[in-house]
Amino acid sequence: MNKKKSDFDKVFSAWDILVIAFGAMIGWGWVVSTGGWIEKGGVVGAALGFAIGGVMIFFVGLTYAELTAAMPQCGGEHVFSHRAMGPVGSFVCTWAIILGYVGVTCFEACAFPTIITYLWPGFLKGYLYTVAGFDIYASWLIVAIVVAFLIMVINIMGAKTAAILQTILTVIIGGAGILLIIASVLNGTVDNLDGQIFAGTTGVSNVKAVLGVAVLSPFYFIGFDVIPQASEEINVPPKKIGKMLILSVILAVIFYSFVILAVGMVLDSGARGATTSFVENGQGDVLIAWENEAFLSVRDNPDDYEIVTPSISILAQPSVAVVDENVKKHDNEDAAQAYLKYLYSDEAQELIAENYYRPVDQTILKKHADTFDLKVKLTTIKDFGGWDEVQKKHFADGGVFDEIYEE
């Protein structure tokens, strides 16, 4: 029995299919989503989540590799499902995949104008409507539509043309990721990982956070399956096609994990670090800061920043106390008592005000009314029911803090 000759031209090399699969998996989505992954799982937690997701996809990839070697026909899942479940099952399976691709296409088309927004804040023009809290503008929507249309035209022009474009785009996208990683090594610090290694506050909440990232990560690995869909156009032995498929998944896992760690190294976890990044490094548009940090920033850069004072804020005063056990151990009780007493003297309160901290002495505070906005309503821990109530409601397992991270 003669084997039917394929009607497709074998235009793809091993490099072409690797780039197509890897590029399809990474896309531009990581640019706008990495912060969300870290917020959900923490830096190391998000990286572990993607590694776990990568393992899951790895086994799916092994299945695809075996099926592609056994049935090297264009169509991929359509061919596999038709052989296993017949026309009806294949119909359902194929349309489910097509609809999934439509969602990914929309996501990637929207990612590009979002990147433009980051680079050019004035790009957004013509507000149209809001979807799930996200404002949609005419300029943003036009770019997304144009990008999607151009990609469609290129695909119509032919597989080889699309492969060339995909190679160029993958080099650009991958290059951006590599530059981010290099920049984080040169300018970031592992100290920024303190406090954001994991998103949870307990072992159980940490596991839940990691698994939360792992569950969503397969969405970002969609793309390796384009290889079996074009298997008849690939000028590579079927068994090697499967190996290239697995390699593309491994590369995507490595890429995502390093990008997450890189972003974590340049994300400041504390108020002082955040102020440094905002003021000295010019990162960000708005900074929510301690009052004295804001005053110091404007003092040092009077023409660059302005302070917007809210009508209500929180009075945060660090506790000061003499610890009997410690002062007796170090034999400095007299000095500690003298320091504590001095803090509340008129001289010390004046020094505190001059350094943009609110003095507790109301008379001295009023003398500096030109600096401090005395109309701001300042809330204290008592307004929230005291420390015991706050701990129980906000910071205990399952409290408000955990609910925010789970969302």
Distance CA 92, CA 7 (A): 26
Per-residue pLDDT at 133: 66
Residues forming a β-bridge with 130: 135
Distance CA 153, CA 145 (A): 12
DSSP string, 1-40: -PPPPPSS---B-HHHHHHHHHHHHHTTHHHHHHHHHHHH
- How many CB atoms lie under 10 A from the CB of residue 165? 16
CB 159 within 8 A of CB 132: no
- Nearest residue to 128 (alpha-carbon basis) of 116, 120, 138, 139: 138
CB 125 within 8 A of CB 140: no
- Break the chain into its structural domains and give their ranges: 14-269, 287-406
Helices (H) and strands (E) in the chain, counts: 17, 4
pTM of the predicted model as reported, rounded to 2 decimal places:
0.62
Per-residue pLDDT at 335: 93
Strand segments, DSSP code E, in 61-140 are 127-131, 134-137
Distance CA 358, CA 290 (A): 11
- How many CB atoms lie under 10 A from the CB of residue 268? 21
Per-residue pLDDT at 270: 61
Identify the three-state secondary structure at position 323.
Answer: coil
Both tokens of 272, joined, read 């002082």
Distance CA 166, CA 159 (A): 10
- Tens of pLDDT along the chain (407 residues)? 445 555 677 778 888 888 888 888 887 777 777 878 887 888 888 899 999 998 888 888 888 888 888 888 888 888 889 998 999 999 998 898 888 777 777 776 777 787 777 677 678 888 888 876 677 888 888 888 888 888 788 878 877 788 888 888 888 888 888 888 888 888 777 777 777 788 777 788 888 889 989 988 888 887 777 788 887 888 888 778 778 888 888 899 899 999 998 888 876 656 666 776 777 667 678 888 888 888 988 888 888 888 888 889 988 887 888 999 988 988 999 999 999 999 999 999 999 999 999 999 999 999 999 999 999 999 988 888 888 888 888 888 778 877 775 55
Residue with tokens 């929207």: 110
Per-residue pLDDT at 268: 63
Report the sign of the C-alpha dihedral through residues 248, 250, 255, 257, in that order: positive
Euclidean distance between the first and the last CA atom of the chain, given in angstroms as a whole number: 59
Q: Interior CA angle at 327 toward 323 and 333, to 5°?
A: 105
Identify the three-state secondary structure at position 341.
Answer: helix
For residues 293-308, one letter each, b for 16 or more C-beta atoms within 10 angstroms of the residue's C-beta and e for the rest, the string is: bbbbbbeeeeeeeeee
Under CATH, what is the fold of the domain 14-269? Amino acid/polyamine transporter I (1.20.1740)
- Nearest residue to 64 (alpha-carbon basis) of 240, 195, 209, 242: 242
